[in-house]
Amino acid sequence: MCSLKEALVISSIEEIEKFLPEIKDSKKIGVVIQTTQLIENFKEILSVIAEYSKELKVYNTICSATFKRQQSAKELAREVELMIVVGSKSSANTTHLAEIIKPIKETILIETSDELENYKNIINKAQKIGVTAGASTPEYVITEVIKRIGELN
């Protein structure tokens, strides 16, 4: 007979500390990763769980297109002076994209080209600006942002 235990939602390495007693007491642990989660975050959390688990099954549902987009954005960030991420601030995909770029390069997260006016001074100082966008960002919004950057710079 199979019994269902509780589910734990762990979104950071810092959060895992409060769940260590439950993890240590569990004989079988299943891990499912959210499709838009940062792969680096997933690896950190998984390494701690694996250290204490007796039996572990992992279901990686990270979308390959999302992973490729994140990798491309990191590469681009290394080649420019400023990164602009376009997309909804409530989109996990878009906000994670900005999060992974920020440690590499100064990053601005905007939803529309109108917001660029708030960053005019930063944009004018940059010679090379990289633009990336969340998966659900419409192409016309990206095009408007690129056009507006050219006008400001």
What digits encode the pLDDT tens for the residues 97-141? 999 999 999 999 999 999 999 999 999 999 999 999 998 899 999
Q: Which of 37, 47, 36 is nearest to 13 (CA)?
A: 47
pTM for this one? 0.69
CATH topology for 68-152 is Cobalt-precorrin-4 Transmethylase; domain 1 (3.40.1010)
Average pLDDT over the chain, rounded to an integer:
88
pLDDT of 3 reads: 46
Residue bearing the bigger pLDDT, 117 or 7: 117
Q: Which of 62, 104, 100, 65 is nearest to 81 (CA)?
A: 104
Burial of residue 144, with CB atoms counted within 10 A of its CB: 0-12 exposed, 13-18 middle, 19 or more buried: middle
Domain residue extents for the chain:
16-60, 68-152
Cβ atoms 126, 80 nearer than 8 A: yes
For 84-100, b/e burial (b = at least 16 CB within 10 A) is bbbbeeebebbbbbbbb
What whole-number percentage of the chain has pLDDT above 70? Answer: 93
Distance separating alpha carbons of residues 111 and 86, to the nearest angstrom: 5
pLDDT of 2 reads: 43
pLDDT exceeds 50 at position 96: yes
